[in-house]
Homo-oligomer: A and B are copies of this chain.
Amino acid sequence: MPDITNLSIVLAARPEGRPKASDFRIEQSVIPQPADGELLLQVLYLSLDPYMRGRMNAAKSYAKPVELGQVMEGGTVARVVSSRHPDFEEGDIVLSHSGWQSFAVSDGAGLRKLDPSAAPITTALGILGMPGFTAYAGLLTIGRPKPGETVVVAAASGAVGSAVGQIARIKGARAVGIAGGPEKCRFVKEELGFDAMVDHRATDFPEQLRAVCPDGIDVYFENVGGHVWDAVFPLLNEFARIPVCGLIAQYNAVGHDGADRFPTFMREVLSRSLTIRGFIQREFVEQRPAFYREMADWLAFGKILYREDIVDGLANAPDAFIGLLEGRNFGKLIVRVS
């Protein structure tokens, strides 16, 4: 009776460095039943995002870690299977935070009903969801690109990066993307219309980046860290703004060798009047209505395109997530759960 079994993926061990399959464990359980005021959700799609790597560590980041044996956290699109909640009925499609599992009970808090006729429901996990909003709020509030300025973003074929570059272009800035491999670079430049693309795997990546940023860099949307930062840093213009929303390249890092880059960093912060600003999208919650409105328009008018990378089956989520941290995905990574 596969339909009456809840599958979930729990954190089995805290990874040292890059996660491996054995850090996750798949578990079966009886499907929970909603009490009065609750509803039962069947997860259709699970979003996989880089921030989840942080939750696997014991240290508190901007959110509490996932405990060992606990279901991995994650944003989901789900269908209401049965409802004892006055605001929801069977068949409703909702955005929820049900995690890496196939069924979940909810009391309705934090759910957002989706209109499947307005946009594909998976977009609520990507361009019309948290990643799209991260790009929108971080770029416009912290990055503040002006017409003619140069905006650089890495992971440019990914959920956040692809939106950053396209919004930058809507605002009249030059969008320079960075991605891994010729296929992604071609896609972002040809399909998404970035002004220039650089492959960070190229041996002369820093020189290539310099060549496509002849006027320097005014906004660097930081979502990767690592060797991309090292190539970007010397090109930052006076008054450059650096929204920091992720550091995927260093999430798996276990230690650091080499010279202390911090004093040089601070000297340049001072001499070039740089702004570095870490953020998480939820601090800009008051901008969400404007985001939904503007982004829906941009999508409707074809000003913003997006790409999804959909993996089938919850059991494949760990491998897909490990691949995400290595840049194996091509577009917003989503797991089709049921």
Q: Tell me how far the C-beta of A84 lies from the nearest C-beta in chain B, rounded to whole angstroms.
A: 38
Which positions 51-101 of chain A face chain B at CB distance < 8 Å?
54, 60-62
Note all chain B residues with C-beta closer than 8 A to A259.
Answer: 256, 260
Q: Is the CB of B275 within 8 A of A275?
A: yes
The reply to whether A244 and B270 form a contact with Cβ atoms under 8 Å apart is yes
- Say yes or no: B276 contacts A280, CB within 8 Å: no
Within 8 A of B (CB), among A81-136: none
Residues of A in contact with B, size category: 35 or more
In the complex, chain B residues whose CB is within 8 Å of the CB of A54: 271
Q: Which one of B256, B262, B278 contacts A270 once the chains associate, using CB atoms below 8 Å?
A: B278
Task: Give the shortest distance, in Å, between A153 (CB) and chain B (any CB).
Answer: 16
**Distance in angstroms between the alpha carbons of A256 and B266 in the assembled complex:** 13
Which of B60, B245, B262, B270 is A260 in contact with, Cβ under 8 Å? B262
In Å, the complex CA distance between A266 and B62 comes to: 13
The yes or no answer to A15 lying at the interface (CB within 8 A) is no
Identical chains bound together, number: 2
Q: Are A273 and B269 in contact, with the CB atoms below 8 A?
A: no
Given contacts A61-B271, A266-B225, A273-B283, whether A256 and B246 have CB atoms under 8 Å apart is no
Q: Chain A: residues with CB nearer than 8 A to chain B? A: 54, 60-62, 222, 225, 229, 238-239, 244-247, 250, 253, 256-263, 265-280, 283
Q: Can you offer 19 A-B residue contacts whose CB atoms are under 8 A?
A: A60-B271, A61-B267, A62-B238, A62-B270, A62-B271, A229-B266, A245-B270, A246-B270, A247-B267, A250-B263, A256-B263, A262-B262, A262-B265, A272-B278, A273-B278, A273-B280, A274-B278, A276-B276, A276-B277
